[in-house]
């Protein structure tokens, strides 16, 4: 299968070389596309050190969702069959890429879950609580049986991605993704991945770093998305 590995990047200079080297080790014949979302550190220069890595660059920071939207558009436009998304902060394990590819036949999306297997590592409590609450609500709406709605490590059939349209530019993108995937009847399966936090000091942008504000933002997204269904 013609495969694109999509790597959204924003100020990843501390981890990017290690992640990219490992991705290249396990990517086989897959192509790699990095979306540099307006980094102001040496991320762009580091990307240039790796042969065969295509780069799309946002001149300013547009948000995590915007990077995924542009990457999906690239995958569709260049007629890839499979797209894999993996973050650059060492919270995802590139050696699992072959497992995602092996699991994809028969499904539209293979989504990593950090909570399908036990782990000695503890996630930040407020992030875990919000994830569990939002995941529960999404499951009630969709009938999916997700255990981790916010893991960005995924494999997709590009033909299925082409049926979806997105507008959410920020960290609420997974909510829009799951609800629209369900509306289009996409078949979903989760795959266990490691629960890894290398930097507990990482922050969400702006007021989203406040857990109460972030929770309200996610709940509002769900409400607005379902309200649109009623109008249509």
Q: How confident is the model at residue 232 (pLDDT cuts 50, 70, 90)?
A: low
Residue-level pLDDT at 35: 98
Task: Report the DSSP beta bridge partners of residue 85.
Answer: 6, 154
Query: How far from each other are the two terminal CA atoms of the chain, in whole angstroms?
Result: 36
Round to whole Å and give the CA distance between 131 and 111. Answer: 15
Retrieve residue 142's tokens: 């969709």
Q: Looking at residue 112, what is its pLDDT?
A: 98
Q: Residue 52 belongs to what domain range?
A: 3-231
**Vertex 145: Cα angle to 169 and 188 (nearest 5):** 65
Phi, psi of 181 (to 5 degrees): -60, -45
Cα 204 to the center of its chain, rounded Å:
15
CATH code: domain of residue 102: 3.90.550.10
Helix or strand run (H / E) with residue 212: helix 211-231
The pLDDT, as a whole number, for residue 207 is 84
Tally of structural domains, the chain:
1
Q: How far is CA 30 from CA 33, 138, 198, in A?
A: 10, 32, 27
pLDDT tens, position by position, 9-29? 999 999 999 999 999 999 999
pLDDT digits (tens, 9 = 90+) for 161-218: 999 999 999 989 999 999 999 999 999 999 999 998 877 677 777 788 899 999 999 9
Q: Give the H or E element holding residue 155.
A: strand 154-157
Q: What is the mean pLDDT of residues 65-77?
A: 98
């Amino acid at each position: 299968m013609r495969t694109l590995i999509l790597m959204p990047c924003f100020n990843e200079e501390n981890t990017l070389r290690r992640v990219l080297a490992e991705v290249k080790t396990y990517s086989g014949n897959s192509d790699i596309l990095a979306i540099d979302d307006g980094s102001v550190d040496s991320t762009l220069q580091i990307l240039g050190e790796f042969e065969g890595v295509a780069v799309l660059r946002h001149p300013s920071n547009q948000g995590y969702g915007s990077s995924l939207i542009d990457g999906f558009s690239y995958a569709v436009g260049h007629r890839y069959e499979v797209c894999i998304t993996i973050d650059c902060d060492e919270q995802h394990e590139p050696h699992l890429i072959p497992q995602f590819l092996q699991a994809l036949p028969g499904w539209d999306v293979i989504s990593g879950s950090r909570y399908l297997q036990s782990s000695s590592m503890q996630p930040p409590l407020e992030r875990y609580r919000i994830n569990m609450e939002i995941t529960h609500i999404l499951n009630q709406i969709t009938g999916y049986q997700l255990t981790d709605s916010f893991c960005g490590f995924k494999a997709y059939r590009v033909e299925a991605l082409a049926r979806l349209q997105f507008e959410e530019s920020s960290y609420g993108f997974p909510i829009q993704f799951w609800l629209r995937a369900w509306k289009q009847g996409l078949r979903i399966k989760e795959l266990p991945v490691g629960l890894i936090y290398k930097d507990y000091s990482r922050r969400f942008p702006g007021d989203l770093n406040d857990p109460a504000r972030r929770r309200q933002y996610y709940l509002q997204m769900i409400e607005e998305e379902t309200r649109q269904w009623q109008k249509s």
